[in-house]
A and B are shown apart, each in its own frame.
Chain A
Amino acid sequence: MSEATDTSLPAQSPPVERAETAKVDAPAKLSWWRGDGGEGAKRNLGLLAVLVVLVVIGILTRPDLYGDPNWVWGNTLTILKLASVVGVVTVGMTFVIIGGGIDLSVGAIVALAGVWCTTVATQSYGAGGMIFTALTVGLAVGVVNGLLVSYGRLVPFIATLAMLVAARGLAAEISDKQTQVSGNTFINGIASTNVLGIPLLVYILVAVVAAGWVLLNRTTFGRRTVAVGGNPEAARLAGINVRRHTVLLYALSGLCCGIAAVMLTAQATSAQAAMANLYELDAIAAAIIGGTLLSGGRGTIIGSLLGVIIFSTITNLFAINNLSAEAQNMVKGGIIVAAVLVQQVQFGSLTQFLARNRATTT
């Protein structure tokens, strides 16, 4: 087991983060919504504050709509529904990033799994066959990603970039470049079914988030993920099978994409090779806003979820005010930068931020 340092995993995270990671490795007392050394909770409160500000802007700009409690409730559910698919993808992405990798192929996996589960042949097996296909395809592609990264020693960026291109190509081939309409009422019903007044899609999101939270914060798998991402060499010396763990992380991400594919197919009642366009960037952005460290070793599931909901709320805010999509993208970009800056200033450590700033200016 002592062969080869895994060169594919970034090991040069700054010393500050390494110290935090060590804290996680120790049997730290974890509160219910802390996923890391304790800063997660504060960071998540900051994200909640952003969300509140967005809602207040909504109320101020469209008091006519917000005056109707029925509309407000429906709108909240719509925001959650629109966040659900990206949310599920983001949970998987968060694991991969905490583990020191990145998965650029998630959008393509969603498209491939969606298209595969809606092909004529697969549809003839009914809803069970379609769901099985989507999950299997997602999982299988994730495993391939993981094997390429850990055993093929490809840089995650390259391996998953190649998969992005290949999976979209395969999706176009399988769908014969046509939109594959799903005639399955059970699948399509997933998107329009409400249970106790709440859409089924929201329950699926909650279930995946809950499972992700437990997996990250309450299991050996989660602790190992943080350790592998924080310092793969130390993790290896501590007896963690880093390579196998990396495969499992990408497999998990692929499985999440499979689940998301079923949800998205249900929403659109069809699948297409071009669907889930740029979901990889949405998921990465949400995870980063949520406080996940891009170099690995730190992150929370709740933070990622809040990141997704913030994006979904911005989209909603722009829709109800009839503002253009371009302006929306500019605001999204600004929010990503602002969120990371605020985190650095507020939680990283102000002095260090300033010191680094000085260092770059001189």
Chain B
Amino acid sequence: MRTPRHDLSRRRLLFGGAAVSAGVLLAGCTSNEQNPTEAQTKAAGSGANTEPGKKVSIGFSAPAADHGWIAAITNNAKAQAGAYQDVELKSVEAGADAAAQRAALSTLISQKPDVIVLLPHDGKELNAFGLEAMKAGIPVVNLDRAFPDARAYRCQIKGDNYGMGVAAATYIAEQLKAKGVSNPVIGEIPGIESLELTQERSKGFADTLASYGFKVANRRPAEFTVDSGQQAATGLFQALPKIDAVWNHDDDQGIGVLAAVNQANRKEFIMVGGAGSKKAMEDIAADNTVLKATVTYSPSMASSAISLARLIGQGKGMSDLVELQVPKEIVLASETITKENASDYLKLGF
């Protein structure tokens, strides 16, 4: 039973060596460089506001990206800042949770940037930080996740979650009406259920469907990931042998949902996506899947947030508005992308 020790160590060495060298080999031939987003930023060079002005340093913080949309947020912010000669971006990682982000932001305050742009883990949890920064004389631009306290931010720019639901439901209801379906079976695949944004999206969807006399037959939440999307959709298809329409809240998880559609061989319904990923827009344009539309929630809002922060830092307003200063709140409209306009929006896809 006893193995001589030298034998063991030799074998161990071989084994470990093989594993490590395989890893190195794999690492050597793996690359995934993604080009920085063009077109999702607004190039400097047109209009009086884009002319170089007072130098502005902008502190930036967004949660660590494990998801295409958040990754696009950070990329867009960096690209937009790079497009201005007069902007210096100080970026800090937000870490894994609200507490980590608060710690990272406190180091940012000590660097005294002119403006801070942040996408909080949770607006409620970071509200106190917003108040602190504002009190210290640093204007805060909140990106996407609203602070409950109006004194905690100078400007807020966000997507319209309720509006996404409204847009998705409107498209679905109009399509079904045109087909003459009177009592449709409608499924819904939301993202992470506990998030307020998910609840707002679902409420907009349900409210609007109700105005047409329709309702959601079954709702299986996923987790914004492809594999959870695939599993949620598989569950939905088991529960509903015949479906007329599905709204999937997120195009990233939608890749998994479409995979489940193919695997279950279900083509009898129309599907609407959410957020507006490049892949979704390409699928819609090609018109060879059940995905017929997606409603936007564009990460280009990060680019806009940097532009607004720069204007705030320079004390300028938005040149098309009469006001001398940047407005307090901007809510993007959720637009509906279909086969007809997909090519126009493709440049905004992420």
Could you mark each residue 259-277 of chain A with 1 if its beta carbon is under 8 Å from any beta carbon of chain B, else 0?
0000010011111111111
Contact of B71 among A71, A176, A191, A269 (CB under 8 A): A176
Instruction: Tell me if A177 and B226 are in contact (CB < 8 A).
Output: no
Contacts of A81 in B (CB 8 A): 234
CA A122 to CA B28, docked complex, whole Å: 10
Decide if A192 touches B226 in the complex (CB within 8 Å): no
- CB within 8 Å of B: which of A2-23? none
* Chain A proximity mask over B205-246: 1 for CB below 8 Å, otherwise 0: 000000000000111110111111111001110110100000
Whether A320 sits at the interface, judged by CB under 8 Å, is yes
Cα A144 to Cα B23 with chains together (Å): 12
| A131 CB within 8 Å of chain B | no
Contacts of A184 in B (CB 8 A): none
CA A65 – CA B227 in complex, angstroms?
26
Complex interface: chain A residues within 8 A of B19 (CB): 136, 139-140, 143-144
A326 to B199: give the CA distance in the assembly, Å: 14
Instruction: Assess whether A78 is in contact with B238, with CB atoms less than 8 Å apart.
Output: yes
Judge whether A274 and B67 touch: CB under 8 Å: yes
B32 within 8 A of A: yes
Interface bits B61-72 vs A (CB < 8 Å: 1, else 0): 000111110110
Indicate if B107 sits at the interface (CB-CB under 8 A).
Answer: no
Mask of A154-184 contacts with B, CB within 8 angstroms, 1/0: 0000000000000010001011111111000
Minimum Cβ distance to chain B for residue A14 (Å): 28
Among B166-174, B255-263, B325-333, the stretch that binds chain A is B255-263
Closest chain B CB from A22 CB (angstroms) = 18
In the bound complex, residues from chain A placing their C-beta under 8 Å from that of B65 are: 172, 177
Whether A109 is near chain B, meaning CB under 8 Å from some CB there, is no
Q: Could you tell me if A120 and B31 are in contact, using CB atoms closer than 8 angstroms?
A: yes
Report the Cα distance A272→B65, complex, angstroms: 11
- A26-34, A90-98, A235-243, A300-308: which lies at the interface: A235-243
On whether the beta carbons of B231 and A322 are closer than 8 Å, the reply is no
A interface bracket (residues with beta carbon within 8 Å of B): 35 or more
Residues A137 and B68 in contact, CB atoms below 8 Å apart: no
Q: How far is the CB of B209 from chain A (nearest CB, A)?
A: 15
Which residues of A are found within 8 Å of B225, using beta-carbon distances? 272, 274-275, 277
For B220, the chain A residues whose CB sits under 8 A away are 319, 325
Write the chain B residue with the least CB distance to A269: B259
Whether the pair A180, B32 counts as a contact (CB closer than 8 A) is: yes
- Does B42 lie at the interface of the complex (its beta carbon under 8 Å from any beta carbon of A)? no
* Other-chain contact of B1, A239, A268, A319, A320 (Cβ < 8 Å): A239
Seed contacts A78-B234, A121-B30, A247-B12; 10 additional CB < 8 Å A-B pairs: A1-B5, A116-B30, A172-B66, A175-B32, A176-B34, A240-B1, A244-B8, A269-B226, A272-B67, A275-B225
Top 7 closest pairs, chain A to chain B, by CB: A239-B1, A319-B235, A177-B71, A268-B226, A140-B19, A269-B259, A177-B65
Q: Which residues of A does B touch, CB under 8 Å?
A: 1, 65, 68, 71, 74-75, 78, 81-82, 116, 119-122, 133, 136-137, 139-140, 143-144, 147, 168, 172, 174-181, 188, 191-192, 238-241, 244, 247, 264, 267-277, 315-316, 319-322, 324-326
